[in-house]
């Protein structure tokens, strides 16, 4: 089996939330460092949505074809023809409502904090900014995707820079240490509050919410996500769809 085929199989398992443990962590790291792999994932997501849409369209077309066949075979007077058209129209509407309901039920039953995290997590990309030491060892380790080294370097710092909190928090998150990630992002937010600053505040909010999701605490993620979605100027606003927020809300009913 070639490497592309293997990648595709792994990505499909990831989309179906079947990837776990070390395989999941390896894929996340690969997605961070491999643009082509991220593009393949996006293409598979589009294909998945198209398949779902095609299935619904096929069902509707079948009903429509059956209705038209009955119309052609029908020799009854005009009034009966109109009545049959109305009846078939109601049948189509009923089937559409049923399909939408089944789709919504399927989404509700299969939604989990972990699945929402996997579907909506976006790796953080370092931006060159003033005030952050260019020689930072932690930044260099993060650029190389070595999350274990990032965490080790962070633990040795006496006074981490704001972005170093972000990078360390993400390293914890990608190493499946969600509680540590939450602690790190909250520390940065608290430091900003105490100093009346907002260094990397937007990043800290988004990744704190994602950490809560990955830590099976959607009730804590929800208010942060709603705050981000309500602010069109927030840099992560366009990453949060209405459907995603609704799915996070639906998790309350499963608690």
Q: Return the number of other C-beta atoms located less than 10 Å from residue 8's C-beta.
A: 15
Indicate whether 151 and 250 sit together in one domain.
yes
Indicate whether 144 and 28 sit together in one domain.
no
CATH number of the domain bearing residue 180: 1.25.40.10
Indicate whether 91 and 54 sit together in one domain.
yes
Indicate whether 18 and 134 sit together in one domain.
no
Give the pLDDT of residue 37: 77
Q: How far apart are CA 59 and CA 161, in angstroms?
A: 56
Residue 53 in 3-state DSSP? helix
Indicate whether 51 and 162 sit together in one domain.
no
Indicate whether 148 and 135 sit together in one domain.
yes
Indicate whether 125 and 150 sit together in one domain.
yes
Q: How far apart are CA 152 and CA 102, in angstroms?
A: 48
Indicate whether 104 and 230 sit together in one domain.
no
Using an 8 Å Cβ cutoff, are 236 and 228 in contact? yes
**pLDDT less than 70: residues of the chain:** 1-6, 49-111, 128-135, 252-255
- The sign of the CA dihedral 181, 236, 115, 118 is negative
Using an 8 Å Cβ cutoff, are 28 and 19 in contact? no
Last residue of a domain, one of 79, 110, 141: 110
Indicate whether 198 and 162 sit together in one domain.
yes
Using an 8 Å Cβ cutoff, are 234 and 202 in contact? yes
Give the pLDDT of residue 240: 92
Token look-up 């990630």 returns 181
pLDDT tens string 92-121: 555 555 444 434 443 444 468 889 999 889
Last residue of a domain, one of 81, 110, 139: 110
Last residue of a domain, one of 92, 110, 128: 110
Range of the domain at 240: 117-254
Using an 8 Å Cβ cutoff, are 186 and 221 in contact? no
Indicate whether 52 and 145 sit together in one domain.
no
Q: How far apart are CA 70 and CA 80, in angstroms?
A: 12
| Number of domains observed in the structure of the chain | 3
Indicate whether 62 and 102 sit together in one domain.
yes
Indicate whether 189 and 132 sit together in one domain.
yes
What angle (nearest 5°) sits at the alpha carbon of residue 213, between those of residues 149 and 238? Answer: 95
Nearest of 158, 192, 154 to residue 175 by alpha carbon: 154
Q: How far apart are CA 17 and CA 25, in angstroms?
A: 13
Residue 194 in 3-state DSSP? helix
């Amino acid at each position: 089996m070639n490497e592309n085929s293997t990648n595709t199989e792994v990505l499909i398992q990831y989309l179906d939330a079947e990837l776990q443990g070390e395989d999941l962590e390896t894929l996340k790291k690969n997605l961070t460092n491999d643009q082509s792999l991220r593009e393949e994932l996006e293409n598979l997501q589009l294909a998945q949505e198209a398949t779902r849409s095609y299935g619904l369209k096929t069902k509707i077309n079948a009903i429509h074809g059956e209705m038209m066949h009955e119309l052609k075979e029908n020799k009854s007077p005009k009034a009966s023809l109109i009545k049959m058209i109305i009846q078939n129209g109601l049948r189509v509407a009923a089937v559409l409502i049923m399909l939408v309901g089944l789709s919504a039920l399927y989404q509700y039953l299969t939604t989990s904090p972990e699945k929402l995290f996997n579907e909506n997590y976006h790796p953080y990309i370092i931006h060159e900014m003033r005030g952050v030491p260019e020689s930072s060892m932690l930044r260099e380790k993060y650029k190389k995707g070595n999350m274990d080294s990032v965490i080790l370097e962070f633990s040795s710092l006496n006074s981490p820079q704001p972005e170093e909190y972000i990078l360390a928090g993400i390293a914890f998150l990608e190493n499946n240490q969600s509680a540590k990630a939450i602690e790190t992002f909250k520390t940065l937010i608290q430091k900003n509050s105490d100093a009346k600053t907002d260094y990397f505040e937007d990043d800290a909010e988004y990744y704190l919410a994602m950490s809560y999701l990955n830590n099976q605490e959607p009730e804590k993620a929800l208010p942060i996500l709603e705050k981000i979605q309500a602010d069109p100027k927030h840099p992560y606003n366009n990453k949060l769809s209405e459907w995603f927020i609704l799915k996070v809300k639906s998790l309350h009913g499963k608690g």
